[in-house]
Each structure stands twice: as C-alpha cells, then as structure tokens.
Amino acid sequence: MVVASALYGLDDIKNRLIRRQGKWFVRTREIPEHGPFTNRLEAIEGLFRHVEICSGSLANRDRDEARAIAEHFINTCRLPDCPLCQQLALAEKCA
Ligand SMILES: [Zn+2]
C-alpha cells in the first residue's frame, strides 16, 4: 500500500497553500510558488509529490510504489478505493 508518509510530517499544509485568481499553489522550501493547480486537493497532491521527490523518499520506495506515486493524479485516478486518494483527501480535510 502506498502511504503518503511525507504528508504526516507536514503539520503546516494549510500555511503552504496559496490561492490566487482561482488557481492554487503550494509554498515549498525549494519553490516559493509551486503550481498552478486547479483545486486545493490537487495542490496538496503536488506538495506531496514534491516532498517525496525532494526528500529522496521516492528513491527509497520499491519500484512499483514509486511508479504509483509518480504516475498518480488525483483528478484522473479511477482506482476504486485508492489508498493514495483516500490519504490525500484525509490530508485535505485536516489541513
Ligand atoms: Zn488514486
């Protein structure tokens, strides 16, 4: 199961979200305004993906898990009961 572990260390997700002119961006250490994303949930996914890559976490996952994350887009995901979608939705609710 893919665990969005990178999100758990980010207790300040809300403070990283920026909304401007109907678009969403996320503030990261490396990129002041990463985006744009079309909605808040996609922005959180963008943050998750960025942190996975920049922290090296993605490289430490097994190949299938890394691919699942790299190729996952919440707006097009059609997997029933997708664990990553569920965790992102939970992160959005908590942010
Ligand atoms: Zn999904």
Give me the pLDDT at residue 38, please. 96
Give me the pLDDT at residue 79, please. 92
Give me the pLDDT at residue 90, please. 87
Domain boundary assignment for the chain: 5-94
Q: Measured in angstroms, how far is the CA atom of residue 70 from the centroid of ligand 1? A: 11
The CA distance from 41 to 84, in Å, is 12
Q: Compute φ and ψ for 7, nearest 5 degrees.
A: -75, -25
Give me the pLDDT at residue 8, please. 57
Closest CA to 22 of 8, 10, 34, 40: 40
Q: Measured in angstroms, how far is the CA atom of residue 45 from the centroid of ligand 1? A: 10
Low-confidence stretches of the chain (pLDDT < 50) are none
Q: Measured in angstroms, how far is the CA atom of residue 53 from the centroid of ligand 1? A: 18
Q: Measured in angstroms, how far is the CA atom of residue 29 from the centroid of ligand 1? A: 26
Q: Residue 4, SS3?
A: coil
Give me the pLDDT at residue 94, please. 81
